[in-house]
Amino acid sequence: MAQSGKPKGLNLARIESLLARFEDLHVLVVGDVLLDEYLVGDVDRISPEAPVPVVHVRKETVALGGAGNVVRNLVALGARCTFCSAVGDDIEGDRVLELLTSLGVSADGIERVPGRPTSRKSRVVARTQQIVRVDRETHEPIGPKVARRLVERATAASAEVDGAILEDYDKGLLSKATIRKLMQFLGEAGVPVAVDPKGELSAFKGASLLKPNLREAEELTGIRVGDARDLDRLAARLQLRIGGGAVAITRGGDGMSLFETKGGRIDVPTPTQEVYDVQGAGDTTIAALVLALRAGGSLREAAVVANAAAGAVVAKVGTATATRDEVSSGLADAIAAAEGKR
């Protein structure tokens, strides 16, 4: 599947009009929610107890991570969101619900599971450099009753949403059976489903968009990419596994490679910029892609929007979001890069 002929030019005014439509959109997100905790401080000595730095913590923050970060990005871009996930019946679970409420997102779709810990990732950061990360979580599957209620709540929301995102962080929320039921009910409701997968793809058959990064795509297919032909073979295999939907492979500083249902590969380079933290950029990307597509954009136009959004996020430290104004201010550079002018 070779690179297609020169794509049509990108129009700044048209893409800005897509951003203006985000506020009219409502997106369902189903996936693993995490609690991202940051302990930020300074280092001026080594511990006498062990050869490790001593961090004098000056600031502590928490934010929604995982699928919760997709929700944050959708809201920051102006859209409405319904979120379905599960947390433990613990203090961290309480904090997740508080953070959702502060975003204006209903917590009604969040299941509380007694005895199950809410996933928490604690990062110690000194002078913008992450020193260590401590994970407290389980990968055990949620029980069948919780899974059934999750599907019921997602299905109930399908009548009022413009699109859905299934965000699998492999923390036990989305089993193959759960995914198949979600895909069936969302498909019957005519809801386009975008997927950010971590594991086997067969259950996601029928997805309209698959968005792995290059490393994930290689792991999913077993194909190591050395040149453009390998990339084309890899994408063809991914499309076959999801039943022919579009594939957008993020490639870090090289931007995205797009593979639509029909046609060849379209590479969408991203502007060169200083990167402070890539954490959460994939969540920003899928949120922006889905909103731009549901607003009526082409996949290439959506990739430009997503590149601008991800560019705003990687310039920040920690789990961050991109606002609609930040995306708008980066569109001209994103278009120029996509057209090979920068």
CB 56, CB 44: distance < 8 Å: yes
Instruction: Tell me the one-letter amino acid at 140.
Output: E
CB 22, CB 295: distance < 8 Å: yes
Tokens for 194? 């975008």
Q: CA 224, 225, 230: angle at the middle one, nearest 5? A: 105
227 noted as active-site residue:
no
H or E element at residue 154: helix 144-157
H-only helix segments in 104-169: 144-157
> What does the alpha-carbon distance between residue 308 and residue 53 come to, in Å, rounded to a whole number?
36
Q: Annotated catalytic residue: which of 196, 267, 283, 333?
A: 283
H or E element at residue 56: strand 53-66
Q: Which residues contact 323 (CB under 8 A, 6 or more apart)?
A: 76, 77, 312
> What totals of helices (H) and strands (E) does the chain contain, helices first?
10, 13
Q: What are phi and psi of 49, to 5 degrees?
A: -85, -30
Which residues have a catalytic role annotated?
283
